[in-house]
Amino acid sequence: MKKEGRPTESRFRSRSEHSLDEKGRLSIPARFREILHEEYNDKLVVTNWHKCLKAYPPQAWEDIETTLLNQGKKEPGMAEFRRYVISGVTECPVDRQGRILLPATLRTDFDLKREVVLNGMLDHFEIWDKAAWDAETRRTRENFQNFEQSLSTLGIL
């Protein structure tokens, strides 16, 4: 379903603010929908994470599951992590209006009531409660100097 001339690997970039409707449906930004439609047949896997939900194309999520199965058993505490993350895994197809339905359990666990932020993370995107997102970005800005050594090592600075 991929268009000719399109990069081999599309990325989820940028952020946008959206509102959940009364049924818990969330409109996916057009730039994210295009990637999901053209490359992943309008499919998405959503799961709970630390402070937000994470949304992955199916193949990216399958890669994570494979890593957890093959290598995660060796790491202490990984059974607990797997239990938590896998318990929230939900396949969320994108409907014709470009929305996904977030299950009530995931909405409740992350206090997603109305205003949410979708934040691109290149190979996946995050779904945050707006207030939690604002607090997290404030904290990140305050601690930005902590990233300078890692950025320098990567050749970004």
Residues 6+ apart with CB under 8 A from 26: 18, 20, 99, 100, 101, 102, 116, 118, 127
Cα dihedral across residues 64, 67, 73, 74: positive or negative: negative
Q: How confident is the model at residue 1 (pLDDT cuts 50, 70, 90)?
A: very low
Looking at residue 12, its pLDDT comes to 96
Q: How many domains does the chain have?
A: 1
User: Helix, strand or coil for residue 27?
Assistant: strand
* Residue among 120, 110, 91 at smallest CA distance from 20: 110
CA-CA distance, 91 to 85, in Å (whole number)? 13
Residue 9 lies in a domain: no
Residue 102 lies in a domain: yes
Per residue in 38-82, pLDDT (tens digit) is 999 999 999 999 999 999 999 999 999 999 888 877 788 888 999
Looking at residue 90, its pLDDT comes to 97
CATH number of the domain that residue 94 is part of: 3.40.1550.20
Q: Is the pTM of this model over 0.85?
A: yes
Domain that holds residue 118: 15-130
